[in-house]
């Protein structure tokens, strides 16, 4: 397989997908508005109302959704770092092979990376589960206290999880 052409085709596809198609841009803009609004609505639910929240106060909901998104991105950093550390050697090997004169990949060169990649992915999954548990309680704290940095109040988050239990 010609990987150089495959990468060029992927780059061309991305270019054609994003540039020169105004309808797609409109959809992307709508999605960037909808997802924060959805996150803001979820924040209203997390505030603990006994009735479903009304669909009003769009500005506050949008801002709450942005806070939700930013907190989620910050919480995902440890998992991203583990995955980067896991896959950077594989990516380097892949790049060195596609930039070489050989037209085919030497799959045997990737075998030494197999076990570290499996181990790294397992670590990332376990870390992701733990981070998700902490993040969920943090988001609920942020919604109820109406303070962004409550999502990172790990002492209180861990106290809450301790009261609930870690799965026991």
User: Pick from 129, 122, 126: which is nearest to 86 by CA?
Assistant: 122
b or e along 106-144 (b: 16 or more beta carbons within 10 Å of the residue's beta carbon)? eeeeeeebeeeeeebeeebeeebeebeebbebbbbbbbe
| Mean per-residue pLDDT over the chain, rounded | 86
Give pLDDT tens digits for 17-29: 667 677 777 777 7
Q: Report CA-CA distances (Å) from 137 to 14, 38, 76, 85.
A: 37, 18, 15, 28
Residue with tokens 């397992």: 122
Give pLDDT tens digits for 94-136: 888 878 777 677 778 888 888 999 999 999 999 999 999 999 9
Token reading at 103:
């037209």
Residue 3 has pLDDT above 70, yes or no: no
**Residue bearing the bigger pLDDT, 35 or 137:** 137
Rounded CA-CA distance 42/137 in Å is 13
């Amino acid at each position: 397989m010609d990987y150089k052409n495959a990468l060029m085709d992927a780059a061309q596809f991305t270019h054609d997908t994003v540039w020169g198609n105004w309808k797609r841009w409109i959809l992307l803009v709508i999605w960037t508005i909808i997802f924060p609004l959805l996150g803001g609505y979820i924040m209203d639910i997390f505030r603990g109302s006994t009735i479903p929240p009304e669909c009003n106060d769009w500005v506050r909901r949008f801002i709450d959704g942005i806070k939700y998104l930013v907190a989620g991105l910050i919480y995902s950093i440890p998992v991203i770092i583990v995955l980067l550390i896991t896959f950077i050697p594989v990516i380097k090997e892949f790049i060195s092979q596609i930039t070489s004169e050989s037209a085919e990949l030497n799959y045997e060169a990737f075998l030494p990376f197999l076990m570290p990649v499996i181990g790294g992915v397992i670590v990332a999954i376990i870390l992701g589960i733990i981070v998700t548990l902490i993040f969920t309680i943090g988001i609920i704290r942020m919604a109820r206290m109406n303070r962004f940095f409550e999502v990172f109040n790990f002492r209180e988050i861990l106290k809450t999880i301790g009261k609930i239990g870690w799965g026991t």
